[in-house]
Structure 1
Amino acid sequence: MISKYIFKIFPTIFRNIPIIDRWLLGQILPPLIFAISAFTVVSLSVGVMIDLIRKVVEYGLPFQLALQIMFLKLPSFLVLSFPMSVLLSTLLAYSKLSSNSEILALRSLGIKNTRIIIPALVLSIFMTGLTFYFNNSLVPLSNKYSEVLLRGGLSKSVSIEKGTDIFFKGYGSFTDPETNVSTKRKTFRNKIFFAREVENNVMKNVTIIDFSKIGYKQIISADEGIFDSNKSEWIFRNGRMITLDKGGNTTSIGFEKYFYPLGDGPLKVSKIPDDANEMTLSQAFEARKIYKEIGDVKEARKMSVRIHEKFTLPCACLVFGLIGSSLGSKPNLRSSKSQGFGLSVILILFYYILSFVSSSLGVKGTFTPFLSAWLPVFISLSIGIYLLKKASV
């Protein structure tokens, strides 16, 4: 029934589609809509709804505001639901056709399995594009607005810290103060910069640990720090500098203003979202560029992995569409909704565990960013092609 209404909405598009494809799409679309609704409601309830109800009851978050926040969180859960729904819908649709001997009837007419699953693959490609659009454009924006609404609503009854912790690792040379000889390598971490918050490019509650001089450790703490772009140095105000020398002697000096030679790396890092999932693709490229400029190889490699995952996450729709349709079109396969759901959960769990392990190895440096992100896709596509060949026998 649902597919009939969809066909009425887009009559021109579906009129140009071959009858067999229209019929197969009509079998896939109803379970797809059901699966998207089911997965989204379950994940949204567990991930957001329970927490929002607690904030409404305990902290006085306005109910209307909670509904708006839940609506803004919806795209992030749809991104997760789309691939799983493609798997479940194709598995259920083709299993039903197989159990009713309709797949067998099509094959008796000379139609191969590769032709039968084409509508599922086309729909999977469409869902891949839709997932990419949601994940790259809607999710970062909607999550940002939901966070602003949540903070604004809770500020009436709960004190929320405005700033974010900025942690910057400086890379450079180590200098021997006795010989004044420097050992220059970009992989040497010689400074650690921490600020409690940043507001209008002003760092507040700043702490720096500097061990660029061999045998000496220097700790600088200040109420605030401002970057002077003309001199490429920081101006710290109202602070104290503690120096520990080789002999274990400690020197402490207070200051009202102190000039410290460090680039604008901390300022750039403060503008990078904490979670790569909250970035658009262009922001992720910019973040990787910043990490490369400041010499943070590990974070740059991690961002490269996340950039590739911006593409591989939507590709899960294509992977699951191929596996679901190939597995479902096997002759004499009988699968109820409950069995289909259980099998989908197992396949999804396998895919995401594989993705997590591969991604971790990529961040660690064992795999290249490209291989770590795309390996689960290649393995799963190989499994899907194998299942398709088995179903065609």
Structure 2
Amino acid sequence: MTVRKSLPLFSFIPGLSVMDRYIIAELIPPFLFGMGMFSSVGVTIGSLFDLMRKAVDEGLPATLVLKVLLLSLPQFMAYAFPTSVLLATLLTYSRLSSDSELIALRSCGVSIYRLVLPAILLSFIITGVTFGFNEYVVPASNYQATLTLERALGEEKPAFKERNIFYREYGEVEQADGSKDNLLKRLFYAQKFDGERMKGLTILDWSQQGLNQIVTADSAIWNIAQSTWDFYNGTIYLVAPDASYRNIVRFEHQQLQLPRIPLDLARKDRDYDEMNITQARERLELERQSGDEDDIRKLKIRINQKFALPFACVVFGLVGGSLGNRPQRTSKATGFGISVLVIFAYYMLMAIGDALGLSNYLPPLISAWLPNLMGFAVGGFLLIRAAR
């Protein structure tokens, strides 16, 4: 077996043998090829067709279409990192097997586990790259792509929620026997919001035993100086413990000590794919205070998926390395076919885990990591079987 000269590119990694450097160097070209292929396919299927239809219908200039496509590319590149690792490991180890290089290494006493180690090492490096890329590049790029297209189509949406702002405040409510339970304390609803002023408001207050206050108002704004709400042209209905009206107070201007959270919820302006982990966690804290369990569960799943997706590189590196080390010779066409099947199975498991998590059949953590857990189990089984 002829071993190529080790590349200086990997000299910064201590402890690598000549074999490790050689295998990693062999993995790089098919990985780069896979990045280009899977990214371009993703952009073509995910964005190009819909964008071209809009460009024809609305007469968008070619430069703007190209800009939106380029801004959409990072999201598909983030998905292409793991799939490219799979393709690279399958093709590289299959070629080494076809050229009898793996047989020569095995005859020198090198185990299957040792042969797969360079692929796992490279997978961990690409995992770190994927995490940084998915955290710092993809959300900002998606957000800019959305804004660019909306402006071009004249459909630019305001950076806030315009209608139906709900806020549910939970807290300890004193009961008739003197005990306190964590119950719904206050319900805040506004029909419209223009970025500064809430309109058509109704507040139901259970902060004491029973429903003791209903507030309606034409409008309200947040008073930054006094950290309170200024309500205008409204009515306060005071309710007795027996649910009868105790008093009715009409006002032109009234200050009420309510949380600022409804304003923060109304000003949320990014979709899940347009937020990094820090922004998603800030949104999660707001949703927790609002008590919307569906949104809370969905955000928890999305945050865990941002950690789980980069580790798909390690899963695919393990699976690809194990399959590529089989004694049967595998052609490039077969390697492509196996890659497509493994990728389809992984993303099908991701969709299943997402559905089970959103339906509350699985905890968010398990839901997000389900494809990786299954992938590690399958990859470990294949590796042990190949080592026999």
The amino acid of 2:296's aligned partner reads: A
SS at match of 1:117: helix
Q: Aligned equivalents of 1:28 and 1:269: distance in 2?
A: 47
Give the corresponding residue for 1:50.
49
CA contact (8 A) 1:195 1:203 kept: no
Which of 152, 161, 180 is the equivalent residue of 1:165?
161
Q: Report the Cα offset of residue 283 of structure 1.
A: 1.6
Q: Aligned equivalents of 2:198 and 2:184: distance in 1?
A: 26
When residues 93 and 255 of structure 1 are mapped into structure 2, their CA distance, relative to the original with a 3 A threshold, is farther
Which of 372, 377, 380 is the equivalent residue of 2:372?
377
Q: Report the Cα offset of residue 343 of structure 1.
A: 2.0
Q: Aligned equivalents of 2:159 and 2:269: distance in 1?
A: 13
Q: Report the Cα offset of residue 192 of structure 1.
A: 5.0
Q: Aligned equivalents of 1:47 and 1:192: distance in 2?
A: 39
Structure 2 matches for 1:285-364, cutoff 5 A? 285-337=281-333, 339-364=334-359
Q: Aligned equivalents of 2:125 and 2:152: distance in 1?
A: 38
The answer for unaligned runs of 5 or more in structure 1 is: none
Structure 2 matches for 1:169-208, cutoff 5 A? 169-172=167-170, 185-188=181-184, 191=187, 193-194=189-190, 196-199=192-195, 202-208=196-202
The answer for unaligned runs of 5 or more in structure 2 is: none
Mean CA deviation greater in 17-26 or 319-328: 17-26
CA contact (8 A) 2:322 2:383 kept: yes
Is residue 368 of structure 1 aligned with residue 363 of structure 2? Answer: yes
TM-score (ref. length: structure 1):
0.80
Number of matched residues? 377
SS at match of 1:95: helix
Give the corresponding residue for 2:103.
104
Q: Report the Cα offset of residue 259 of structure 1.
A: 5.0
CA contact (8 A) 1:169 1:193 kept: yes
Mean CA deviation greater in 58-67 or 315-324: 58-67
Give the corresponding residue for 1:94.
93
Give the corresponding residue for 1:278.
274
Mean CA deviation greater in 10-19 or 281-290: 10-19
SS at match of 1:331: coil
SS at match of 2:60: coil
| % identical aligned pairs | 33
Q: Report the Cα offset of residue 187 of structure 1.
A: 5.0
Give the corresponding residue for 1:225.
220
Give the corresponding residue for 2:39.
40
CA contact (8 A) 2:160 2:267 kept: no
Give the corresponding residue for 2:123.
124
CA contact (8 A) 2:98 2:330 kept: yes
CA contact (8 A) 1:206 1:221 kept: yes
When residues 54 and 326 of structure 1 are mapped into structure 2, their CA distance, relative to the original with a 3 A threshold, is same
The amino acid of 2:43's aligned partner reads: L
CA contact (8 A) 1:88 1:344 kept: yes
The amino acid of 1:144's aligned partner reads: Y
